[in-house]
């Protein structure tokens, strides 16, 4: 009897063990009703619409249309002349370090998160522009007349000639400007050629004594960039005066006025735009609006007074940083209404600087023409028009933390924004002489 009971217990235990093993086995196998993940094997479609924009001697920008994928494209691979070059997480890639005068073949393929690769896109042939002669040019005569010819050739509104420089070009431009300021002319000549610019040593034989200037301007017979015209005095008489005219085709005669004042005072440097402010249809990301190009909207990238991604802005930054005693006088123009003054001036803020150059220039202009009327932003604080607070050069000089998006709250006093009605100052050489003489009285170095 005891043996039968023991066998029954043993049978019961073995049965329970077998049941437990069966349950564990079922549990580990996951059962038959657990979902299974299907592997993604579908490749993205091949990228299409591959184009090249802003092609220069050494740089270009590739753009293409996004590929389609059942899950989503993770990145794109760029191939140059049949070999892998780089990856991009967006439908854009900036090329640099290209060889001038070369032909390159590009293709793009898309890859999804599972590693599926699309077919290669259609090929795109990109030809970089040829190298200009990196040689110092020479000219002589009256620099005012010479610059007027350059100003007259500047393209107008809506012609879409202005090309925005990429970061690598701006870095090279900064090097060129540094060479110009340090009198390293041969180095500036070599580097500027890579950007389609050349340096001309101009001797003004109409000044006594003769004065030498270095003009940094785009290669005249093959313009592609329209980044501006920049002039530096070899032996400035007004060492702290930097003259600027960023709207020479819109603010009538301001380019002539700036060149006239620069020559007569032998100022340190002159910065001129070389395209109409509305030449490009592309808008900047910088804050502020204008109706200069039609209906009110964002500034255009060709509007050099409101664009931090420009050679004009980078030149300002290099000079302001390298020469901390310089003062930048920027000449503008406006249409005078019945209740408007003749001149509106600002230092880029509503704060009063320690050295109040705006007031000094006002006083000097009144000596030239006592009938002139003025509004000065930090004095006439109820005046709110045309004060230049969105000017990106002024913002930088006044230490804005973000010159593209934030107006300065403090002033260095080194930036003077001058808006002029046309009749008394901008109309002709008699008006330009008033501005030139006033600036000379304020900035001339004894």
Whether residue 18 is predicted with pLDDT greater than 90 in this model: the reply is no
Q: State the CATH number of the domain containing residue 190.
A: 3.40.630
> What tens digit of pLDDT does each residue of 210-219 get?
999 999 999 8
> Given 127, 158, 187, which residue is the final one in a domain?
127
Residue 25 lies in a domain: no
116 and 176 housed in the same domain: no
Name the residue with higher pLDDT: 25 or 42: 42
- Note whether 287 and 281 are within 8 A (CB): no
Q: Is the domain of 348 the same as that of 414?
A: yes
- 177 and 316 housed in the same domain: yes
Per the structure, the complete domain to which residue 237 belongs is given by 137-443
Say if residue 37's pLDDT is above 90: no
Residue 249 in this model has a pLDDT that exceeds 80: yes
- H/E stretch holding 52 reads strand 48-53
Is the pLDDT confidence value at 79 over 60?
Answer: yes
Asked if 105 and 208 sit in the same domain, the reply is no
> Mean pLDDT, to the nearest integer, of 335-343?
96
Identify whether residues 372 and 398 lie together within a single domain. Answer: yes
Q: List the structure tokens of 200.
A: 């001309």
pLDDT at residue 4 above 60?
no
Residue 438, pLDDT score? 98
pTM: 0.75
Which segments of 323-406 does DSSP mark as H helices, in order?
Answer: 357-368, 392-397
Cα dihedral 169, 173, 174, 178 sign: positive
Residues 59 and 147 in one domain: no
pLDDT digits (tens, 9 = 90+) for 92-133: 999 988 987 889 999 999 999 999 999 999 999 999 877 677
Residue 345 located in a structural domain: yes
Query: Once rounded to an integer, what is the mean pLDDT over residues 46-67?
Result: 92
Model pLDDT for residues 347-368, shown as the tens digit of each residue: 999 999 999 999 999 999 999 9
Q: Tell whether the model's pLDDT for residue 442 goes beyond 50.
A: yes
204 plus 249 within the same structural domain: yes
pLDDT digits (tens, 9 = 90+) for 178-237: 999 999 999 999 999 999 999 999 999 999 999 999 999 998 777 889 999 999 999 999
Q: Could you tell me if 159 and 247 lie in one domain?
A: yes
User: In the chain, what is the straight-line distance between the N-terminal and C-terminal CA atoms, in Å?
Assistant: 132
Structure tokens belonging to residue 18: 């077998």
Model confidence at 393, pLDDT cuts 50, 70, 90, reads: very high
Crossing angle between the packed helical segments 143-152 and 254-265, to the nearest 10 degrees: 160
């Amino acid at each position: 009897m005891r043996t039968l009971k023991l066998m029954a217990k043993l049978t019961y235990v073995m049965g329970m063990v077998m049941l437990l093993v069966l349950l564990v086995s079922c549990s580990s196998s996951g059962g038959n009703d657990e979902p299974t993940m299907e592997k993604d094997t579908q490749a993205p479609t091949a990228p299409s619409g591959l184009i090249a924009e802003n092609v220069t001697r050494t740089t270009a920008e590739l753009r293409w249309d996004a590929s389609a994928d059942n899950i989503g494209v993770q990145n794109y691979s760029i191939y140059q002349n049949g070999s892998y070059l780089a990856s991009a997480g967006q439908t854009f890639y900036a090329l640099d370090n290209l060889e001038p005068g070369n032909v390159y073949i590009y293709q793009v393929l898309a890859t999804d998160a599972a590693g599926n690769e699309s077919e290669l896109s259609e090929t795109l042939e990109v030809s970089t522009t040829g190298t200009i002669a990196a040689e110092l040019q020479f000219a002589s005569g009256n620099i005012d007349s010479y610059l007027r010819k350059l100003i007259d050739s500047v393209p107008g509104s809506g012609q879409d000639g202005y090309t925005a420089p990429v970061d690598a070009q701006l870095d090279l431009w900064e090097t060129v400007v540094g060479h110009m300021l340090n009198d390293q002319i041969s180095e500036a000549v070599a580097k500027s050629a890579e950007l389609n610019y050349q340096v001309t040593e101009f001797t003004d034989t109409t000044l006594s004594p003769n004065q030498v200037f270095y003009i940094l301007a785009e290669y005249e017979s093959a313009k592609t960039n329209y980044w501006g015209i920049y002039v530096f005095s070899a032996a400035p008489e007004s060492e702290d005066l930097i003259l600027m005219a960023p709207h020479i085709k819109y603010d009538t005669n301001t380019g002539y006025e700036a060149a006239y004042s620069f020559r007569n005072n032998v100022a340190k440097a002159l910065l001129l735009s070389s395209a109409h402010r509305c030449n490009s249809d592309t808008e900047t990301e910088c804050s502020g609006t204008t109706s200069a190009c039609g209906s009110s909207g964002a500034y255009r990238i060709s509007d050099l007074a409101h664009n931090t991604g420009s050679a004009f802005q980078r030149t300002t930054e290099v000079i302001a940083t390298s020469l901390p005693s310089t003062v930048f006088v920027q000449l503008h123009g406006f249409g005078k209404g019945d209740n408007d003054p003749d001149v509106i001036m600002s230092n880029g803020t509503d704060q009063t600087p320690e050295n109040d150059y705006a007031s000094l220039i006002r006083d000097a202009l009144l000596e030239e023409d006592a009938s002139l009327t003025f509004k000065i932003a930090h004095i006439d604080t109820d005046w709110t028009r045309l004060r230049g607070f969105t000017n990106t050069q002024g913002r930088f000089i006044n230490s804005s933390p973000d010159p593209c998006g934030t107006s300065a709250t403090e002033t260095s006093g080194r930036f003077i924004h001058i808006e002029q009605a046309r009749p008394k100052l901008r109309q002709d050489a008699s008006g330009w002489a008033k501005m030139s003489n006033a600036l000379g009285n304020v900035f001339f170095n004894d």
